[in-house]
Structure formats: structure tokens, C-alpha cells
């Protein structure tokens, strides 16, 4: 081989390698080349991450870079529609490698490898998990679109709406009759007296009640157990309503400790959002989500507002949900 041919081949090799490295391209402006390279490395690793979604067939492949190490995660499903989710699998993996402090301090992004990138950010439960484990004020949610090679970067905090920012309203602004509002507050307060809070802090123990368009009232309290399979108050009352084939709810009221605003976990917002999407499909208003401090003050929002960039069965399987709701009142 001549020296020229050798050089040409070597240059071709470099070109191929460069092409390999530039399989990804930032969709928007980026001012941090080091972070960009980490994101590209993570996306390459995520594209190879193992998953096991026998029920949904929907793969969630994730990765990040921490202390120069690329760490991957993938979703796995089991039994009934239950899953270890891609982002919680990833963060759990990072914690087991570098510990919780380094994880919170050093994980700057979660990269998702997707066939095509959509609008949704994590499910409610994964939002709760990331709030607990990561620096969510600065965390980036990165999606690498395999079909275009474009990398979309968003701020995870756009997925968060703290209870303090739910608009505070007077009782008369809550779109329920005084009688219905008083009844729901009383039912949620009574619910909170029950439940099980062996492991739950007082400020997280809540009761919830709901009024359906059929006129029924449901209520539930949070219930914990030794396996840490928490039963959520809103999820609990929604399960009761579904058991009664009562799928359309007008409002849900949540009560915490007297004098304090209750917390509404993102997981419970996910349950509420799924139900509210039934209302919306039928042309009804979204479910009103009302928080009260138990002393006459109220905050009013919806699950759509409190869980932005969400997904639901109605968006995932629109035809199936249509069919499911066809004979429901």
C-alpha cells in the first residue's frame, strides 16, 4: 500500500469514527460540549439497554453518565400490568454504584433512547422517585430520537407543580354546591382518621373523597405496609368507583393535617389523570382537584394542570379506551 493510500484509508477510518460519534445531533443550541458528548455516549448505551415489556411491548431504554461511568436502565413488566420503570431502574442502578449523595449531586440528565420522541415526561411515580433521589431543579430529560438522530433536551422541573402553586380560591369559587363541598370535606376528613400510617409521616398521611356524576361519594385514606407497597388515597377511591362501574367523577377533595395543606403525590395525580381523561373523552370537564387545609381555605386545580406532560391510557390506547367507555354512563 502506498503512503498516500494508507493515509486515505486512515482518514476514512477517522471519518467513519466521527460519523459514528455524530450519529446524534442536538436539536437545539448547546453550549456545553462536554455534556453533549456525555449525552451522546449515554444515548448509544441506552440504545443497547435490555428491557422486558411482555405486556405493553413498549421499551423504555435509559442511561446517564456519572463520574465518567455510563449507567443504563430499562423497563421490565410482570404479572398484571405492573412494571419496574426505565428511569427508576436507572437511578436505582446509579445509587447502587456510587451511593445516594453522589447520585443527587452528579446525575445531570436522564437520556431516553426512543423510536420517536413525544411530549410526555415521566409517569407520576417516577416523578416522585426522581424528586427524592436527584437534583430535580437542574436535571435534564433528554430524548434521542432514533428515527431522526435529533436529541431533544428539556428541563425535568417542567414536569413539576408544587401544591403551593395550585391557585388558592374561596369556597364559593369551587364549582360545587356548598352542600356538596361541605360533604366532601367532611368525608375526606373522616377518611383521614382511618387508613394505616405505621411508616408514613403525619404530613404525608391524607384522606380523599370524590363525588361522581351519578351522585355517589367515595372516600379513602392512605395505607402503608411492611413491604412498602403503599396504597394511595386517590388511587383507593378511584378503585372503589371503578368497582361500581362509576367512571366519571366531578371532583376530588384531599385533606391532610388540620391547618396544613395536604401533599398530593405525583403517583396519585397519575391515577387521577387517567380517570380525568375518561371525562375529557366524553366531553365533560376534567375532574376538579380540591385541596383544603381543613380550616376553610381551598386550592383548586385539575390533574391535567398538576401533572403536565403526562400520558394516560386514553393517549396510549385511544381506540381501546373508546371501546371500554362505549357502554359506560
Task: Give the C-alpha separation, 39 to 42, whole Å.
Answer: 5
- The answer to whether residue 191 forms part of the interface with Zn ion (CB under 5 A) is no
Number of DSSP helices (H) and strands (E) in the chain, helices first: 10, 14
Contacting residue, 45, 123, 134, 206, with Zn ion by CB under 5 A: 123
- 4 vs 54 by CB, closer to Zn ion: 54
Per rule CB under 5 A, is residue 126 in the interface with Zn ion? yes
Hey, what's the torsion of the CAs at 4, 9, 11, 14, to 10 degrees? -160
Task: Closer to Zn ion by CB, 65 or 91: give it.
Answer: 91
CB 7, min distance to Zn ion, A: 51
Task: Kindly tell me which of 68 and 115 has the beta carbon lying closer to Zn ion.
Answer: 115
Select 123 or 188, whichever has its Cβ closest to Zn ion. Answer: 123
Query: At its nearest, how many Å lie between Zn ion and the CB of residue 267?
Result: 9
Instruction: Identify which of residues 291 and 310 has a Cβ nearer to Zn ion in the complex.
Output: 310
Which listed range, 7-15, 124-132, 148-156, 296-304, lies at the site for Zn ion (CB under 5 A)?
124-132
220 with 240: CB under 8 angstroms?
yes
Which of 137, 161, 119, 187 minimizes the C-alpha distance to 265? Answer: 161
Residue among 85 and 288 whose Cβ is closer to Zn ion: 85
And the C-alpha cell for 142?
433528554
| Residues with Cβ within 8 Å of residue 210, at least 6 apart in sequence | 184, 217, 218, 219, 237, 238, 241, 249, 250, 251, 252, 253, 287
For the CB of residue 119, give the shortest distance to Zn ion in the complex, in Å.
15
What the block records as the C-alpha cell of 189 is: 376528613
* Pairwise CA distance, residues 294 & 309, whole Å: 30
The least distance separating Zn ion from the CB of residue 91, rounded to whole angstroms, comes to 11
Q: To 5 degrees, how large is the angle CA 327–CA 328–CA 329?
A: 120
Grid cell, residue 235, equals: 388511587
Q: How many residues bind Zn ion (CB under 5 A)?
A: 3
Select 189 or 265, whichever has its Cβ closest to Zn ion: 265
Residue 316 CB, nearest approach to Zn ion (Å): 13
| Region 209-228 residues binding Zn ion, contact defined as CB under 5 A | none
Residues 132-151 that bind Zn ion (CB under 5 A): none
Binding part of the chain for Zn ion, among 25-33, 103-111, 125-133, 286-294 by CB under 5 A, reads 125-133
For residue 47, what are the contacts with CB-CB under 8 A and spacing of at least 6?
A: 61, 113, 144, 146
For every residue of 239-274, DSSP letters joined together read HHHHHTT---EEEEEEE-STTSPPP--HHHHHHHHH
Binding segment for Zn ion (CB under 5 A), chosen from 35-43, 45-53, 120-128, 180-188, is 120-128
CB of 59 to Zn ion, least distance (A): 13
DSSP state of 284: P
Q: Which is nearer to Zn ion, 24 or 112 (CB)?
A: 112
Measured from the CB of residue 258, what is the shortest distance to Zn ion in angstroms?
33
**Contacts with Zn ion, 59-98, as mask; x by CB under 5 A:** --------------------------x-------------
- Which residues contribute to the site for Zn ion (CB under 5 A)? 85, 123, 126
Amino acid at each position: 500500500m502506498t503512503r498516500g493510500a494508507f493515509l486515505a484509508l486512515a482518514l476514512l477510518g477517522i471519518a467513519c469514527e466521527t460519523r459514528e460519534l455524530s450519529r446524534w445531533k442536538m436539536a437545539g443550541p448547546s453550549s456545553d460540549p462536554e455534556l453533549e458528548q456525555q449525552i451522546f455516549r449515554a444515548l448509544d448505551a441506552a440504545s443497547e439497554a435490555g428491557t422486558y415489556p411482555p405486556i405493553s411491548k413498549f421499551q423504555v431504554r435509559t442511561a446517564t453518565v456519572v463520574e465518567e461511568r455510563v449507567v443504563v436502565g430499562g423497563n421490565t413488566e410482570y404479572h398484571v400490568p405492573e412494571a419496574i420503570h426505565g428511569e427508576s431502574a436507572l437511578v436505582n442502578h446509579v445509587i447502587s454504584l456510587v451511593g445516594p449523595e453522589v447520585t443527587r449531586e452528579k446525575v445531570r440528565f436522564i437520556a431516553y433512547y426512543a423510536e420517536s420522541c413525544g411530549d410526555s415526561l415521566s409517569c407520576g411515580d417516577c416523578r416522585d422517585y426522581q424528586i427524592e433521589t436527584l437534583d430535580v431543579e437542574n436535571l435534564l430529560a433528554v430524548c434521542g430520537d432514533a428515527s431522526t438522530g435529533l436529541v431533544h433536551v428539556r428541563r425535568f422541573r417542567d414536569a413539576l407543580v408544587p401544591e403551593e402553586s395550585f391557585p388558592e380560591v374561596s369556597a364559593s369559587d369551587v364549582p360545587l354546591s356548598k352542600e356538596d363541598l361541605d360533604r366532601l370535606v367532611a368525608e375526606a376528613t373522616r377518611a383521614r382518621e382511618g387508613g394505616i400510617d405505621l411508616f408514613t409521616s403525619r404530613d404525608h398521611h391524607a384522606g380523599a373523597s370524590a363525588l361522581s356524576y351519578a351522585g355517589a361519594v367515595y372516600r379513602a385514606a392512605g395505607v402503608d405496609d411492611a413491604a412498602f407497597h403503599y396504597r394511595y388515597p386517590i388511587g383507593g377511591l378511584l378503585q372503589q368507583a371503578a368497582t361500581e362501574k362509576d367512571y366519571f367523577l366531578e371532583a376530588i377533595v384531599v385533606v391532610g393535617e388540620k391547618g396544613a395543606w395536604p401533599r398530593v403525590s405525583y403517583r396519585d395525580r397519575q391515577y387521577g389523570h387517567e380517570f380525568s381523561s375518561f371525562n375529557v373523552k366524553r366531553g365533560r370537564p376534567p375532574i376538579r382537584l380540591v385541596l383544603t387545609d381543613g380550616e376553610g381555605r381551598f386550592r383548586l386545580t385539575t390533574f391535567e394542570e398538576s401533572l403536565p406532560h403526562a400520558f394516560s391510557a386514553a393517549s396510549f390506547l385511544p381506540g381501546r379506551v373508546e371501546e371500554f367507555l362505549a357502554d359506560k354512563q
